[in-house]
Amino acid sequence: MSEVDIPSIPYLGQKTDEITIYAGPCSVESAEQFDEVAQCIKDLGLRWVRGGAFKPRTNPHSFQGLGEEALKIMKDAGERYGLLTLTEVMDSAHCELVHSYVDGLQVGARNFQNFSLLKKIGQVTADSHKMVLYKRGFAGSISEWLAACDYISDCGNDNIVLCERGIRTFETATRFTLDIAAVPVIHKQSLYPVCIDVSHPAGQRDLVPSLAKAAVAAGADSLMIEVHPNPPVALSDGPQQLTPAQFRQLVGELRELAEVLGKKVV
């Protein structure tokens, strides 16, 4: 594609000076595990906690998530700590259930072009306008991503956050290749805010801080960061999850960087 093919539309999302962090464990494993992370997030003055209840695992024999039990754990912690909650919905049949428990619904990379799920999520959130965090697929182009947003918005909810989470390339040094250019390209081509999930492309926790700082510098509106009280025993994505101590340090560093840009991390 040549440079001139990209239309330039003013980006309304730039009116906000806030960088939102969606942090939490890959999977909700127990009330104790989730509470420890929620407490850390609350203490840092952040707003959102994420966690997986229904997990899209490559192997059917891997941990599949606690399902509704995890949704209950999230709702309870969200109320006690005063945090908003975000979780993935994998199946059209679960949309109402998930919607009844959480504040934000995530579409995972593996459902990037599951158009019936996108439509169902749009319908279920049409009245509440709960946020839909819509992740890019491993092999999805930005134009396919923006086109598919209309499946959600046409059903009545345009409260959509586009989440870049790495794409598949020939490179194997990282789990996925983070397409940082997605931030300015989406800001030029749409009015939707952009989130960068820094954990899934990294695949290893020591890379997470650099990717997070790059995302802030590139103008991302939000970040997704996986945090687990004890990553070595995590039931999914252990190697890439930060400990609460590592997360606290990173949030401090991101706040310094955000200040330089006239923004604040929430």
Residues near ligand PEP (CB under 6 A) are: 26, 52, 56, 108-110, 135, 165, 197, 200
CA distance 135 to 139: 12
Q: Which two tokens stand for residue 153?
A: 């918005």
CA distance 104 to 106: 7
Q: Are strands 131-135 and 84-88 parallel, antiparallel or unpaired?
A: unpaired
Closest separation in Å from C-beta 28 to Mn ion: 12
Residues that bind Mn ion (CB under 5 A): 26, 237
**Residue 94 site contact among ligand PEP, Mn ion, none (CB < 5 to 8 Å, cut-off depends on kind):** none
**Residue 165 site contact among Mn ion, ligand PEP, none (CB < 5 to 8 Å, cut-off depends on kind):** ligand PEP
Q: Determine contact, residues 187/222, Cβ cutoff 8 Å.
A: no
Closest separation in Å from C-beta 238 to Mn ion: 10
Q: Which amino acid is at 206?
A: D
With CA atoms as reference, report the closest residue to 105 among 84, 79, 78.
Answer: 84
Give 83 or 109: the residue with its C-beta nearer to Mn ion: 109
CA distance 28 to 158: 28
Give 135 or 228: the residue with its C-beta nearer to ligand PEP: 135
Closest separation in Å from C-beta 127 to ligand PEP: 26
Give 226 or 263: the residue with its C-beta nearer to ligand PEP: 226
Closest separation in Å from C-beta 52 to Mn ion: 6
**Residue 131 site contact among ligand PEP, Mn ion, none (CB < 5 to 8 Å, cut-off depends on kind):** none
Closest separation in Å from C-beta 32 to ligand PEP: 20
Q: Determine contact, residues 53/89, Cβ cutoff 8 Å.
A: no
Give 53 or 258: the residue with its C-beta nearer to ligand PEP: 53
Minimal CB distance to ligand PEP: which residue?
108
Give 2 or 59: the residue with its C-beta nearer to ligand PEP: 59
Helix 142-153 / helix 115-124 crossing angle, nearest 10 deg = 40
**Residue 56 site contact among Mn ion, ligand PEP, none (CB < 5 to 8 Å, cut-off depends on kind):** ligand PEP
Q: Which two tokens stand for residue 228?
A: 């687990």
Give 235 or 251: the residue with its C-beta nearer to ligand PEP: 235
**Residue 219 site contact among ligand PEP, Mn ion, none (CB < 5 to 8 Å, cut-off depends on kind):** none
CA distance 152 to 112: 12
CA distance 53 to 70: 5
Task: Tell me how many helices (H) and strands (E) the chain has.
Answer: 9, 9
Closest separation in Å from C-beta 106 to Mn ion: 11
